Structure 1
Amino acid sequence: MKKNGHRLLTLAALLGTAAGVIHIANRFIDATSQLKDMLEQLHSKTYEWRFGRIHYTKQGQGSPLLLIHDIMPGASGYEWNAVEKQLATEHTVYTIDLLGCGRSEKPDITYTNFVFAQLLCDFAKNVIKEETDIIASGFSGSFAIMAYRNNSDYFRKIMLVNPPSLSSLKQAPCEDNKLFKHIIELPIFGTLIYHMVSARESISSLFMEKMFYNPFHVTDTLVDTYYEAAHKGGSSAKYLYSSYIGKYLNISINNAVASSDACIYIVSGEKESCYALISEEYQKLNSSIEVAAIPEAKHLPHLENPELFLEQVSIFM
């Protein structure tokens, strides 16, 4: 009995020491990841929303255009860095950091598609204050579609850049998803997992393997900026990631796509996996949807091939 008690005390001490070391490592990562201050930007503004402060920029003159970035570790309005100045020559361009991303507040909540659709509606109503066109990247395309369904008075044309497949959006959280979400949200060990996922090396590999077609186009500045954004606000950044991995952002948008009378335009990187099949999914539901592919580009054509992307925007807008 004494030996068992001694072993338990030793194990508890080791676990406590390990937790302490991991906690210090987590704090160190949070602090050092922001030393380069890559996210500082002109035209910065803040919208006080019900769930937290929303960072955005406004520049240019003309018809309003709202740019919405994708959902991934380190995502922010910086995603539009290569095209927003050119777009601002003809539009009043609003570039938003979604709740839980970049320079916006990152509350400890379960993020859902409804939360982001409501954010877009409120932002259009209270900040833009007139009908706006939208360009939404990746998963955020589903937020734009649902925002239009919730209140079409605020939105006009919608451009979807490599939107998610309709079949993937139907996947509801299962028990494994819920468990993983809970693990990520643990104070010390969950934060460590998030830091591994959002490590600079992980972000660099993600861009080289999945985001860009040409890995030589992935710059240190790009990776450093995403790395900083992934850790802005400390460990609070993990809550959006846990909701995304847990599939809490998923919602079927089939009915919204089929019944939409908005002008919808899908732009994909030609090298993006399954882009043709995904575009076909949308067109089967709504034959008025137009599709274009940008050569020599993958998931983020507006970053990898901005000139050709701007050409497509000028055609659509």
Structure 2
Amino acid sequence: MKKNKKFSIALLAILAITTINICINKLIFYFSSKHEKLYLPNSNYFEWRFGQVYYTKNGQGTPILLIHDLDASQSSYEFKSLISKLEKNYTVYTIDLIGFGKSDKPKMTYTNFLFVQLITDFITSVIKQKTNLVCIGKSTTIGLTVCNYNPDIIDKLMFVNTPSIRTLNRVPNKNNKINKTLLESSIIGTSIFNLLYSNTWLSKKLISQVVEPTTIKRNYILSRIEAAHLSGEASKYVDVSIRYYYTNLNITHALKSINNSIYFVTGEGYSNYKEIFNEYMELNPSIETAIITNSKGLPWIENPNQLCNYISIFI
């Protein structure tokens, strides 16, 4: 009798904790995404096979597509400053990749080829002409692969703060697959996701990525928090896929094969950028490089004027 009573109490305690946890997570998603910071003018949705994809189009001239980094808190909002500067001379497109920002976030495993197909379809169906790509961070693999498979739809390529080839070549192992399953779970996974993209953790991360901490404004932090939390717990699926290397791809062959003009630019404080430049140039000696001063991990936020100047020179 006592055993049954203890079991019942334990069960009720577990149910209560679980219910409280679920409620807390729902409140976090609600309050994190209520500010509506991600709206940009001249925006629309592209109906794609895996859901609606948010994009913007501004200006007139040679088309440029800006692709954000593979980070669950990033979106087209990253390019707010760049758009206003580039639209004077270019037709500037931005896109929230599927699983990011204001785009739909299906509960699935996200891979490099998924994004490659999205960008290919977007250029073919929306832009409808040869396009220049500016890719941030890990989205380098997307730009290179799109160009390698479909050279007729890509003109020039620019990559900003590209990680090392070794980083991008990593693939999931057995432990990664186990951890992925855990972090996709409804309670534990969602709680960990909300912790990683909380105001405190995200603010510290962003400040560590820049030369001058005052560069990180409150509105920018709120935009990153909102981008990570729109669509509720479905937001964690893309984060988990990135975290455990499902979005990575070996780009060695693509680098050697591409004949398009390729430009690499990076913040002067970006870790090991000289070594990173060298390993890419060993595979493709025609690559051109440039440094963005007074910047580190977020040069499009820290020094957008100089980045725009490089885009104007190269593209």
TM-score for both structures, normalised by structure 2:
0.97
The corresponding residue for 2:226 is 228
SS at match of 2:208: helix
**Do structure 1's residue 192 and structure 2's residue 191 form an aligned pair?**
yes
Matched ranges for 1:12-91 at <5 A? 12-91=11-90
Question: 1:195 Cα shift?
Answer: 0.5
The answer to which of 130-139 and 35-44 deviates more is 35-44
Query: How many angstroms apart in 2 are the aligned matches of 1:267 and 1:191?
Result: 35
Q: How does 1:298-313 map to 2 (within 5 A)?
A: 298-313=296-311
Q: Residue 4 of structure 1: CA displacement?
A: 4.2
Same amino acid, percent of matched pairs: 36
| Count of residues in Structure 1 that have an aligned counterpart in Structure 2 | 315
Which residue number in structure 1 is paired with residue 283 of structure 2?
285
Paired position in structure 1 for 2:6: 7
Alignment of 1:94-113 (within 5 A): 94-113=93-112
Contact kept, 8 Å, 1:43 with 1:57, in 2: the verdict is yes
8 Å Cα contact 2:158/2:262 also seen in 1: yes
Helix, strand or coil at the partner of 1:70: coil
How many angstroms apart in 1 are the aligned matches of 2:66 and 2:228?
Answer: 19
2:121 equivalent in structure 1 = 122
2:193 aligned with 1:179: no
Kindly provide the amino acid, as one letter, of the partner of residue 100 in structure 1.
G
Matched letter for residue 203 of structure 2:
S
CA distance in 2 between counterparts of 1:316 and 1:8 reads 69
Contact residue 22 and residue 189 of structure 1 kept, 8 A: no
* Distance apart, 1:8 and its partner CA: 3.2
Please say if 1:252 is aligned against 2:250.
yes
SS of the residue corresponding to residue 159 of structure 2 reads strand
Q: Secondary structure at the match of 2:239?
A: helix
- How far does the alpha carbon of each residue in 1:152-196 deviate from its partner, in whole angstroms, 9 at most, with x for none? 111110000011211112211012211221111111221111100
Q: Secondary structure at the match of 1:242?
A: helix
Shift of 1:3: 4.4
Which residue in 2 is equivalent to 1:265? 263
Instruction: Tell me how far apart the structure 1 counterparts of residues 249 and 14 of structure 2 sit (CA, whole Å).
Output: 40
- Where does residue 207 of structure 1 map in the other structure? 206
Give 1:316 deviation, angstroms. Answer: 0.5
| Contact 2:104/2:231 (8 A) holds in 1 | yes
In 2, Cα distance between the equivalents of 1:124 and 1:131?
8
**Secondary structure, in 3 states, of the residue corresponding to 1:54?**
strand
Q: CA RMSD, aligned part only?
A: 1.1
262-271 or 176-185, which deviates more: 176-185
Uncovered stretches (5+) of structure 1, i.e. residues with no partner: none
Deviation at 1:5, TM superposition (A): 4.0
Deviations 1:25-56 (CA, angstroms, capped at 9, x unpaired): 01101111122211122101110011111000
- Whole-angstrom distance in 1 between the partners of 2:289 and 2:2: 70
Partner Cα distance (1:142, 1:5) in 2: 57
Q: Give how far 1:9 is off.
A: 2.9
For the residues of structure 2 that align with 1:146 and 1:5, how far apart are their CA atoms?
60
Unaligned runs of 5+ in 2: none
Q: 2:200, 2:261 → 1: CA distance?
A: 39
Moved more, 246-255 or 2-11: 2-11
**Distance in 1, Cα, partners of 2:203 & 2:109:** 27
**Could you say what secondary structure the match of 1:293 adopts?**
strand
Q: CA deviation at 1:84?
A: 1.0
Deviations 1:53-104 (A, max 9, x none): 1000001000110000011131100111111111111111101001100000
